[in-house]
Chain A
Amino acid sequence: MILTAVVIGLAPQAVAQRFGAESFTLANGLQVVVIPNHRAPAVTQMVWYKTGAADDPRGKSGIAHFLEHLMFKGTRANPGGAFSTLIAQNGGRDNAFTTEDYTVFHETVAKDRLDLVMRLEADRMTGLVLDDAAVLPERDVILEERRMRIDNEPSALLREQLTAGLFLNASYHNPTIGWEHEMRGLGTADALAFYRDWYAPNNAVLIVAGDVETAEVRALAERHFGPLAARPVPPRIRLDEPPHHASIRLEMKSTRVAQPSWRRVYLAPSYRAGETRHAYALQVLAEMLAGSADSRLNQALVLDKGLALKVGAGYAPSAIGLAEFGVYATPKPGVAITDLEAAVDAELHRILEQGVEPDEVTRAAKRMQATSIYSQDSLSGPANIIGTALATGRSLDDVAVWPPRVGAVTAADIQAAARAVLVERNSATGILLPERTS
């Protein structure tokens, strides 16, 4: 606690950076972060673009993710599949992923190949070339991806609809992969328009983690990314929610479901939106609800009452707009969903009314802080934590103070956060039930 006060009291520039990260910004606005890790002679490079599915234009859901796929289709300098082929021929691995708020491309190579992957990423930051011959088969690929991840999975279908129900107006209403009928209409022009809008050095963060020194990365970044010109980038608009007047309840039956399950999501603040002061307390609350064997939901529902096979709670605070706080449970066979739900509600109400024990809070915070150490036990752990922060409008200093901020959360903070967020009318509940085949 004393340490916490000291750290928070310091001027930001004096905060010791977590993971030994060092940062600088090129003249064109590209932010570069170096995370030294000398365990193995390898480096991971990641380019985080500050755009994601929440920036999909209306009627074009899925375009951010589609473009991410198309970024592997070639440039004038490296046509066709040269990007991945070159990396594989140099013994490296590459991939990418898209979320609502950011799109990330990453490569892991031997340290002496950093020059190559930096040249390739810089090249496709502005040099992408697309035509229908490359784009249209890839559209079939994302449709298969949607079938695989969503349409073949009843629980994913329900979650997708639950999210749309919770975010009536907010930018996270649509699924990242897109609605199928809109995905079918996405084309080359849509992808290029999105690319021109968002892919620019001043809208990206370059992270290099591994067996490198900052000076070396600076020289390479200047050489490859330095010549790219900054361009105006649209503001990232994250629409707000209107007041919710009624809770939402969705029930889905499917012959493809083996057992019932129950989940509820609440509108919640994030680090950036809503009542942001609750963001740390909500993380600890999720851990206290379901992060350990004697967490409240596990103890009550699984161990004591034998109502549930499994419980969980989740909260991701890094959204630029509002976030969601979720709870889920799978009933034991024979237990009615309504009984399960009543038991979850009883536990949540107990927190609202009686608060939590300081000891519980301390133990949960300690477990969470340990994950910070474990996250250093890989090249990508720290890079992902830092990338997420920088791509969503937070700073390295914010990353640095995460452990003490988590440690500073009090029982009173948690009760206040729970009271602010666990509000019925701000919730959406999804019930998944088996449908008997006759």
Chain B
Amino acid sequence: MNRLGSRRTQAPLPHCGRGWLACQGEPGEGNPASAARALTPTLSPGGGEGVFRNHTRRAVSAKALLLAAVIFILTGLVPAAAMTIQPVSGASGVEAWLVEDHSVPVVTIRFAFLGGAALDPAGKGGTASMVASLLDEGAGPYDHAEFHRRLDDLAGQLRFSVAQDGFEGSLRSLKENLSDAADLLRLALAEPRFAPDAVERIRAETLAGLARQAKNPRSLSGRLWMYDAFEAHPYGSGIDGTEASVAAITRDDLARFAAERFHRAGLTIGIVGDIDKTEAAALLDRVFGGLPLGADDSQIAEAKPLDDGALVVSRAAVPQSVVTFGQIGPKRDDPAWYAAYVLNDILGGSGFRGRLMKEIREKRGLAYGVTTQLVPYRYAGLIVGSVATENGRVGESIALVREEWQRMREEGPTAAELEDAKTYLTGSFPLGLDSTQHIAAVLVQMQQDKLGIDYLDRRAGLIGGVTLDEARAVAKKMFDPAALSFAVVGDPADVKPTRPPKQQKF
């Protein structure tokens, strides 16, 4: 069905900094589809009934463009009674966090290996991404057809995806099919085939995706911004690589990536649903017990984004210019994180909360949405946003972003804004914990960020404890209009570039 949201904001970027589920945005039903009747693969309000069929399982890949939820930020006041997180470990020593919920006969297991696209071999960008697409294309005794036939008949939902810093996967299964589906997951991780015909098929698909991104103003704007910020550092390159790098990837590269990355050191796992502790322990052994122990070898160089306050333009024959903007922000372990998190919501929160939404959308009708997000990579932190405005008026939107950046630096938030943001961020978080998939994503993220198993009990206090003085001090330090850079794709009428983009073509 044709479905238009009234004001779900979109803040798309081609780089999903973190997990792929996060990249999908918020729960599917809430996301606006494009205005295509029936033929939009993303969603149908009817759930499983009459949705678009497309077996392509890459639909959720890291290529999905939403930065909006890139940052699956954990903030939440979850009443202990509602959700108890238990540590669980198998006989093999593999550990996970578990949330039991026996109300629906469904189980989700989600996991992340340390190290993702940023570890692609030099000149072979896109390796991790191709691995993610190929793991379910045949493994162990099963060729592509047999693997999928089994998975489809089990109605298992198996997904793999790549972020810059991690390689993630998840399996959602009906309880009754869990052990058989888990065997397929084990095979995919331990014995992927990387059959030559599958490799070529996925290579062609990846190249096609790159060509699409290069023409898409949203993707292109994000890529231009990220390349300008990071250049040669892996974060500057798209997760899918380039035409040349994807062409250079061999089967050995793919097999080596899988062999090197899929080990137990740094592996984080969340299990949620109709499963008890004993069953979960057995599941851990079954799926991950056979993986090598390994060691954390996922370090890369710390990145210092260039934030020179540039404005770059890439001309494209479209009626609406798409703008990505941002600067350096905090990493997740920064002591200023919670203050920055609240400030980000006050400036660029979705709905009608953010100052940018009020100034740009509500008062002036300059855009459908404008939001900002903290993007905490492991080796760099950003605050990034996007806005799209017709070519003739996009200069106004850019000027307003600059003004608000300046105002936040000078004045910080008001006491009322701070309280409202804290209330929203603490109150709304647990509302999203309604599905096994969302909860499992939170469990993995909490472990990756080393927040502690009691984090959800402490979260409201961490956010609520941000004082006005602290918020103002962090705002003064963080928001720097001189460092705020813009990448514009479109045919803007009233915007002057300060220099050319560092790379024009992707």
Contact = CB atoms under 8 A, between A and B. Distances in A.
Contacts of B153: 363, 366-367
B352 to A, nearest CB: 5
Q: A147, A151, A380, A385 — which one has the most chain B CB atoms within 10 A of its CB?
A: A147
Interface in B427-483: 427-428, 430-431, 433-438
Given A283-B49, A370-B155, A318 B1 contact: yes
A398 B54 CA distance: 26
Nearest to A324: B38
B141 interface: no
Interface stretch (A34-42, A216-224, A348-356): A34-42
B82 A176 contact: no
Nearest to B317: A255
A291 B55 contact: yes
Contact of B49 (A303, A376, A385): A385
B452 to A, nearest CB: 21
Contact of B362 (A94, A95, A137, A258): A137
Contacts of B40: 314
B368 interface: yes
Interface residues of B, number: 99
A110 interface: yes
A132 to B, nearest CB: 12
A366 B434 CA distance: 25
A142 B368 CA distance: 7
A140 B366 contact: yes
B423 A100 contact: no
Interface string B364-394: 1111100000000000000000001110000
A380 B29 contact: yes
A97 B1 CA distance: 11
B505 interface: no
A183 interface: no
A375 B103 CA distance: 13
Nearest to B30: A95
Contacts of B172: 374, 377
B361 interface: yes
B204 A292 contact: no
B217 interface: yes
A311 B388 contact: no
**By CB atoms of chain A within 10 A, which of B10, B152, B174 has the most?**
B152
A381 interface: yes
Max count, chain A CB within 10 A of own CB: residue among B1, B8, B153, B208: B1
A156 B318 CA distance: 13
Given A286-B53, A363-B153, A388-B46, A328 B39 contact: yes
Nearest to B273: A377
A99 B430 contact: no
Contact of A366 (B79, B155, B353): B155
B336 interface: no
Contacts of A373: 104-106, 174
A136 B82 CA distance: 45
A87 B82 CA distance: 22
Contacts of B395: none
Contact of B365 (A98, A139, A176): A139
Contact of A137 (B144, B317, B363, B438): B363
A117 to B, nearest CB: 12
B47 A385 contact: yes
Nearest first, the 7 closest Cβ-Cβ pairs linking A and B are A91-B427, A140-B365, A371-B48, A293-B148, A370-B155, A137-B365, A291-B53
26 contacts: A68-B6, A69-B6, A72-B352, A90-B423, A91-B423, A91-B427, A95-B30, A97-B45, A98-B3, A140-B365, A141-B361, A145-B368, A147-B320, A148-B368, A149-B32, A149-B34, A265-B39, A283-B50, A289-B53, A292-B152, A309-B205, A310-B54, A314-B38, A367-B152, A374-B157, A378-B29
Interface of A: 37-42, 53, 65, 68-69, 71-72, 81, 84-85, 88-101, 104, 106, 108-110, 136-145, 147-153, 156, 159-160, 163, 172, 175-177, 255-259, 263, 265, 283, 286-287, 289-295, 298-299, 302-303, 306, 309-319, 323-324, 326, 328, 330, 332-333, 363, 366-368, 370-382, 384-385, 387-389, 402
Given A332-B204, A374-B157, A377-B108, 4 more contacts: A69-B7, A95-B7, A156-B36, A293-B148
